[in-house]
Amino acid sequence: MNVLAGSISTRRVTTRQRECLRALVLAAVLMFASVRAIAGNDRDVDIRIHVEGDVVSVDASMLVAATPQEVWSVFVDFDHMAQFISNLKSSAVVARSGDTVTVAQAGEASYGPLKFAFESVRELRLMPVEKIRSHMISGNMKRFAGVTEFAAEGAGTRVTYHSEAVPDRWIPPLIGPRFIEQETREQLSEFRAEVLRRKLAQAAVDKADSLRQH
């Protein structure tokens, strides 16, 4: 009787585990599908480009369905940034002093037949979890300075970005602003997709740990 009861109990546990595993797999598929859908729907990323003389100003804003800390951790992950930002070929912290970091990056942006290889060394002042101030030390721009801010909004985080740059080359009056808008929109969308990917992956891990404990 006890042996039979033990056998039935084992089967019940196995069945429950299988059901939990199926539920986790389904949840993961749905969650990652949601990430791809949100990443692909980048029209809600508000971008404004203004060119005055040699100065190109960019203002951008987007809402991310994550906490400021979750968003911040992705925006300051400089050493892994080339893994989730498509126009970056390399990205690395080359110096750090307190909340100030120096980051070297290189990559290539494209818009139709227009391609633009870039490289920069920037100094960034980090004000967790609120703001990142950046200015270029060296690179293929005459001048660059930017600020990214993070603020809780409802159940998510509002990311706002402003930069002013003086390129080292002539910008075509029609194609140039569109090119800059596309690159800014794509980059911010990829940041958001990575935030959500990490958030959902962590949720899956937490759920699996909880199931194992029970």
- What are the pLDDT digits (tens) for 144-178? 999 999 999 999 999 999 999 999 887 777 788 88
CA distances from 105 to 46, 92, 157 (A): 25, 7, 26
Instruction: Note the pLDDT of residue 88.
Output: 97
Structure tokens at 4: 């039979």
Set out the domains of the chain in order of their start, with CATH numbers: 5-213 (3.30.530.20)
Instruction: Note the pLDDT of residue 2.
Output: 36
pTM over 0.75: yes
Q: What is the pLDDT of residues 23-57, one digit of tens each?
A: 444 444 444 444 444 444 577 999 999 999 999 99
5 confidence band (pLDDT: 50, 70, 90): very low
* Ramachandran class of 112: left when φ > 0, alpha when ψ lies in -120 to 50, beta otherwise: left
Write the DSSP assignment of 127-187 as a string of letters: ETTTEEEEEEEEESEEEEEEEEEEEEETTEEEEEEEEEEEESS---TTHHHHHHHHHHHHH
- pLDDT at 103 > cutoff 90: yes
Tokens 């759920």 correspond to 207
209 confidence band (pLDDT: 50, 70, 90): confident
Average pLDDT over the chain, rounded to an integer: 84
